[in-house]
Amino acid sequence: MSEERVTRVEVDTDRGVFMISVAAELASMHPQTLRVYEARGLVEPKRSPKGTRLYSQQDVEKLRRIHEMTAELGLNLAGVQRVLDLESEVREMHARIEELELKALHAQVQLAQELEEVRRSFRAELVPFRGGGPGTELVRAADARSPFRPPRGGGRL
């Protein structure tokens, strides 16, 4: 009894692996339709060294979406191109927003760290001082006068 062996190969979804006839069948289209879509710039299949069109899994999914937009939504190819362009712009804007949010978060963290450094430096410099009025004030340690030392400048009180 022979043992059947199954090998599974994982391929990047953007790698061209399907020839035009297979891609057309997977997308439920005629191969000529894929050539028209390529001529219109809707899909750009990879090419083998000999020039054979090689469609990726992403290309096949895009072909299915194009078919859906034309057959079910009634869009013409110019409308499909506009939808695809707008979707691309939205993806780019989302990526830019994420980038800006990340930069803002880093800036916020940096400002919080700098603020904490300033607070620590003031804690070291500020001392409680009971002045002429009620309550305790905080003054810089360098400005607090000791009752046992003469004021700066050598003058008398």
Q: Which residue did the predictor score with more confidence, 85 or 7?
A: 85
Least confident piece of the model among 5-14, 18-27, 36-45, 90-99:
5-14
Mean local confidence (pLDDT), 99-114: 96
Residue found under tokens 């506009």: 82
Token output for 52: 């054979």
Contact 23, 45 (CB under 8 A): yes
C-alpha closest to that of 38 among 50, 55, 25: 55
Count of CB atoms within 10 A of residue 125's CB? 13
Query: What pLDDT score does 149 carry?
Result: 59
> To the nearest whole percent, how much of the chain has pLDDT over 90?
63
Contact 69, 83 (CB under 8 A): yes
In CATH, what number does 20-75 get? Answer: 1.10.1660.10
Mean local confidence (pLDDT), 79-89: 96
Mean local confidence (pLDDT), 109-135: 77
Query: What pLDDT score does 4 carry?
Result: 81
pLDDT in tens, 27-65: 999 999 999 999 999 999 999 999 999 999 999 999 999
Residues 6 or more apart whose CB falls under 8 angstroms from that of 137 comprise 128, 129, 130, 131
User: How far from 120 is each of 36, 83, 141, 145, CA to CA, in Å?
Assistant: 69, 55, 14, 22
Least confident piece of the model among 5-9, 11-15, 30-34, 101-105:
5-9
